[in-house]
Chain A
Amino acid sequence: MAESVQEKVIRIIAEQAVLDVSDVHPHSTLQELGIDSLGLVESIFAIEEAFDISVPFNANEPGKSDFDISSVAAIVAAVEGLVAQKAA
């Protein structure tokens, strides 16, 4: 069975955080996982490459960006949205 968006995103985040995928939960925040601003920029790059999407994110105004990074679940939902947009 193909990997779901959530599984793929969690795999990317786990790799960035140097954690096992089982330690990354939907409710986890990037801060809890020890991912700093540079780690975030790298994760977004990996997500863009994995899903062939373009993520609207500017490190200067992360709060204002349309891409919600408040938790792993939020990131998964945002990526699902962008993947759906691409398909549409």
Chain B
Amino acid sequence: MRRVVITGAGTINPLAHDVPGTFAAFREGRCGIGPLDIRDKDRLAIQIGAQVKGWEAEAHFNRQQITLYDRFTQFALIAAKQAVEQSGLNFDGHLGYEAGAVLGTAGGGLITSDENFRTVYEEGKNRVHPFVVPKLMNNAAASHLSMEWNLRGPTFSVATACASANHAMGLAFQMVRSGAARAMLTGGSEAMLCFGGIKAWEGLRVMSRDSCRPFSANRSGMVQGEGAAVFVFEEYEHARKRGAQILAEVAGFAMTADAGDIVTPSSQGGERAMTGALRDARLNPEDVGYINAHGTGTAANDKAECAAVAHAFGQHADRLMISSTKSMHGHLIGGTGAVELLACLMALKDGVIAPTIGYEEPDPECALDVVPNVAREARVTACLSNAFAFGGLNAVIALKAV
């Protein structure tokens, strides 16, 4: 079994258009949630979201590319460019055959679907653009990454709702660890902030109309976000020999299914995923200093997740830190685990724990150290990143400092 390390990271999200900017926002506890700016907003009950601001596709892509790139593909390409540049890897030669891309996304090109449904149903047109299908398909972003960077190995997309990015990164990790690939681009991307994307979520009645306050007794629900993060996962010896900068080691991964309810999470499923990731990483519970929570800010998630942490970690649950950065960047659905892994990188590399902002009132059912409102300096050598999806699908990644 080979060791796997992260040698590059890139992102575009509601807080910033790169990793240093995102770390700065995490440190400041800045909130990226605000009034939505989308078409037909007046017909939505939910008026807030965490949108990527100041995004100009034309500054990055030519007209032909934009014709083919849905917003989620654009985000993935920008994040991947930053990650590959940081890693210093060149896939043009033989390495390209030993490298691939596994990306998580729940909605794929949902904005493309939304716009074209309007065209044919609302406007009554009988013709759509010829590239609607290659633009909206769920694997579009992964495929464009392969074309952009000459990745000729395992390449596909993973769709497990809110756990998509963690499942994708877990699979990429397993491929490098097993020797099926030497390097992988992996992470997740989502661009669901369009009329149909928000309207569907409204129906569930779990969306907040004011802010995202995970673990706070007066929480009012989740807030949707958008964006992407992409990482370079590389075989350790390969990275070491070329003198690459190593950001962290991907130490373990586990996935479980609740086999229970289609939306209500079970604490046992989350607990088994966390203990599984620890076992896979050969970590003891006491080794873990920080958990990036799934922390959606819904009552159902937050209570089940805190119970899961308490069971998985026993007495150590009271000594570790757990925060939900969704309070700042919102819930990026299929891309969320990737942006949240950045908070783990910051904890391991910079010794700064991103806070749970918006925290106002303690909830006795969430009596853990949730790093309320203010970032904290702490030495952490191992952390977990949780993702628990609708459908009862749980995926937890363990990172270690190198």
Give residues in A with beta carbon < 8 Å to B.
37-38, 41, 44-45, 54, 57-61
Find out whether the CB atom of A58 lies under 8 angstroms from the CB atom of B204. Answer: no
Find out whether the CB atom of A60 lies under 8 angstroms from the CB atom of B204. Answer: no
Looking at chain B's contact residues, the main secondary structure is: loop
Q: Assuming the A-B contacts A60-B298, A61-B299, are A41 and B204 also in contact, with contact meaning beta carbons closer than 8 angstroms in the complex? A: yes
Chain B residues closer than 8 Å to A57, beta-carbon distance: 205
Find out whether the CB atom of B264 lies under 8 angstroms from the CB atom of A58. Answer: no
From A37, A54, A58, contact of B221 by CB (8 A): A58
CB distance from A86 to the nearest CB of B (A): 16
Find out whether the CB atom of A38 lies under 8 angstroms from the CB atom of B299. Answer: no
Find out whether the CB atom of A58 lies under 8 angstroms from the CB atom of B263. Answer: no
Q: Is B400 an interface residue (CB 8 A)?
A: no
Q: Is B146 an interface residue (CB 8 A)?
A: no
- Tell me the complex Cα distance, A45–B204, Å: 10
CB distance from B260 to the nearest CB of A (A): 12
Chain B residues closer than 8 Å to A59, beta-carbon distance: 204-206, 221, 298-300
Chain B residues closer than 8 Å to A60, beta-carbon distance: 206, 208, 219-221, 297-299
Q: Is B203 an interface residue (CB 8 A)?
A: yes
Knowing that A60-B206, A61-B220 touch, tell me 6 more A-B residue pairs with CB under 8 angstroms: A57-B205, A58-B209, A60-B297, A60-B299, A61-B219, A61-B299
- Subset of 9 A-B contacts with CB under 8 Å: A37-B300, A41-B205, A54-B45, A58-B221, A59-B299, A59-B300, A60-B206, A60-B299, A61-B299
Find out whether the CB atom of A58 lies under 8 angstroms from the CB atom of B206. Answer: yes
Query: CB within 8 Å of A: which of B199-217?
Result: 203-209
Query: CB within 8 Å of A: which of B61-89?
Result: none
Chain A residues closer than 8 Å to B205, beta-carbon distance: 41, 44, 57-59
Which of under 10, 10 to 19, 20 to 34, or 35 or more describes the interface residues of B?
Answer: 10 to 19
CB distance from B217 to the nearest CB of A (A): 10
Chain B residues closer than 8 Å to A37, beta-carbon distance: 264, 300
Chain A residues closer than 8 Å to B204, beta-carbon distance: 41, 59
User: What residue of chain A has the Cβ atom nearest to residue B263's Cβ?
Assistant: A38
CB distance from B80 to the nearest CB of A (A): 35
Chain B residues closer than 8 Å to A38, beta-carbon distance: 261, 263-264
Chain A residues closer than 8 Å to B220, beta-carbon distance: 58, 60-61
- Tell me the complex Cα distance, A65–B297, Å: 17
- Tell me the complex Cα distance, A45–B203, Å: 8
Chain A residues closer than 8 Å to B219, beta-carbon distance: 60-61
User: What residue of chain A has the Cβ atom nearest to residue B221's Cβ?
Assistant: A60
Chain A residues closer than 8 Å to B206, beta-carbon distance: 58-60
- Tell me the complex Cα distance, A59–B263, Å: 12
User: What residue of chain A has the Cβ atom nearest to residue B302's Cβ?
Assistant: A60
Chain A residues closer than 8 Å to B221, beta-carbon distance: 58-60
* A38, A45, A57 interface centre (most CB from chain B within 10 Å): A38
- Tell me the complex Cα distance, A60–B302, Å: 10
Q: Which 9 A-B pairs have the closest CB atoms?
A: A60-B221, A59-B205, A60-B299, A59-B206, A41-B205, A60-B298, A60-B220, A58-B205, A57-B205
- Tell me the complex Cα distance, A37–B208, Å: 17
CB distance from A30 to the nearest CB of B (A): 15
Query: CB within 8 Å of A: which of B352-397?
Result: none
CB distance from B237 to the nearest CB of A (A): 48
User: What residue of chain B has the Cβ atom nearest to residue A59's Cβ?
Assistant: B205
* A38, A41, A59 interface centre (most CB from chain B within 10 Å): A59
- Tell me the complex Cα distance, A26–B203, Å: 27
- Tell me the complex Cα distance, A41–B283, Å: 41
